[in-house]
Amino acid sequence: MAVTYFSTNILPFLLLLLLLSVISLSLVHGFALSKEVLARQEADRVIKLPGQPPVKFRQYAGYVTVNETHGRALFYWFFEATENPEEKPLLLWLNGGPGCSSIGYGEAEELGPFLTRKGKPELKLNPYSWNKAANLLFVESPVGVGFSYTNTSEDIKQLGDTVTAKDSYAFLINWFKRFPQFKSHKFYIAGESYAGHYIPQLAEVIYDSNKKASRENHINLKGITVGNALLDDETDQTGMIDYAWDHAVISDELYHNIKTHCNFSSSGDQQYSTTCGLALNQYFDVYTIIDMYSLYSPVCADSNSSFVANRALPRIQGIAPKLFSKYDGWRRKPTGYDPCASDYTEAYLNRPEVQKALHANVTNIPYQWSHCSVKISFWPDSPSSILPIIKKLRAGGLRIWVYSGDTDGRIPVTSTRLTLRKLGLKTLQEWTPWYTNNKQVGGWTVEYDGLTFVTIRGAGHQVPTFAPRQSLQLVQHFLANKKLPSKAF
């Protein structure tokens, strides 16, 4: 009799638990999801990677088709925020190149939750991961980069800034259909280097498309931030030479020869004289013995490494800046605080069990995953200046922050200061130090009318790698639209 009584009374309780579990699966962030959407998200869910430490946040990875006719698909890796993801903004991170992986650099070596480890097929937690501040999305773009692919080989020959922006926009439209619970979140784009082209151009496509988009395809874009960014050919190149001389990298004589014989303000052939070419060869030769991306960091001394200082990527024709891109020295691979870190990343991401866990390489790409694509050799669409787009986005009310690690020789702080001067913006707050939460000067900041510029003291080209604490503080303030602290605290 007691057993019957217990069974009769516990049954409603068990049914209630079952009902609640079904409701919890279909309600994400208070958003009712269809069975189809839930199934697609679950298919992309990454339960646990080989060698991954335990975490409480959810992660997803997989492919989003951007062109069905050509069979173009971009690979993504997405991490929900560590706390309250339903309240946090969504941040897309893009690396540059063009042709370099946002997963290989951005996720695994800079600002992602998981960093690769030396000598171990394992991952370690990044205590300064940006998913502490936002829901964090990485995309390998364009096709041909990393795990992203196309079934139409001719697509690789047609790549350029415009195609990349359009495919990235198509990715976002389709990604939000897969994850509609994030569609109403404030959306931001961040990145570095050649993403100085990618990010403003993608933001412009979103900005223009939003004016005529249906409610379903409207993207809640609020702002962009770019670091050590390629923005303007003339000032980027001029600033590199000035920075190298000012930091005792090149001699007075070489500096004088470049300044006298190289015309950085012209995009035509007249800028490329024999004397200029000889001088620039001497300039780039210096960066075969030190790291252009971080002047004061060691280079990888491992003789088996593919990332020794004089290792150059295949030259890509047509990219900006038009003069410097003619030199192999411009195409050197970046390294990090551990100058051999990229070797660990390539070893990890080429493991079959890792690719299976990430739902990657589903088409059995006939080449190894690498940080930067060796398939891309032609880039016919690369404007010499992105400043007109910056002006347009600023006028449209988007939040714009530009930041610079001040030990980078690739796109140095000198270049960015010269570039921003071209905008002719009114200064609201002059050059002011900002402080980290350990009472140290993190860098300096200038507030212009509609744009904020921030330097990060002691950081190289990949700011989150060299200054993780400062970079997390930077993005937290950017997302909150708050000034960095001007006094120690």
Catalytic residues: 193, 408, 461
SS (H, E, C) 416-431: HHHHHHHHCCCEEEEE
What is residue 287's DSSP assignment? T
Contact criterion met (CB below 8 Å) for 136 and 79: yes
On the question of a cis peptide bond just before residue 142, with omega within 30 degrees of 0, the verdict is yes
CB contact set of 205 (below 8 Å; sequence gap of 6+): 165, 166, 168, 169
What is residue 434's DSSP assignment? E
Name the nearest CA neighbour of 134 among 93, 195, 104.
Answer: 93
What is residue 107's DSSP assignment? I
Contact criterion met (CB below 8 Å) for 335 and 300: yes
CB contact set of 462 (below 8 Å; sequence gap of 6+): 105, 109, 110, 192, 293, 334, 336, 405
Strands (E), 25-126: 27-28, 31-32, 59-67, 72-79, 90-94, 114-117, 120-125
Name the nearest CA neighbour of 192 among 113, 94, 98, 92.
Answer: 94
Distance CA 225, CA 93 (A): 10
C-alpha distances in angstroms, 392 versus 145, 160, 296, 421, 473? 29, 21, 37, 16, 28
Q: How far apart are the first and last CA of the chain?
A: 69
SS3 117: strand
Q: 321-342 burial by CB neighbour count: b if 16+ within 10 A, else e?
A: bbbbbeeebbbbbbbbbbbbbb
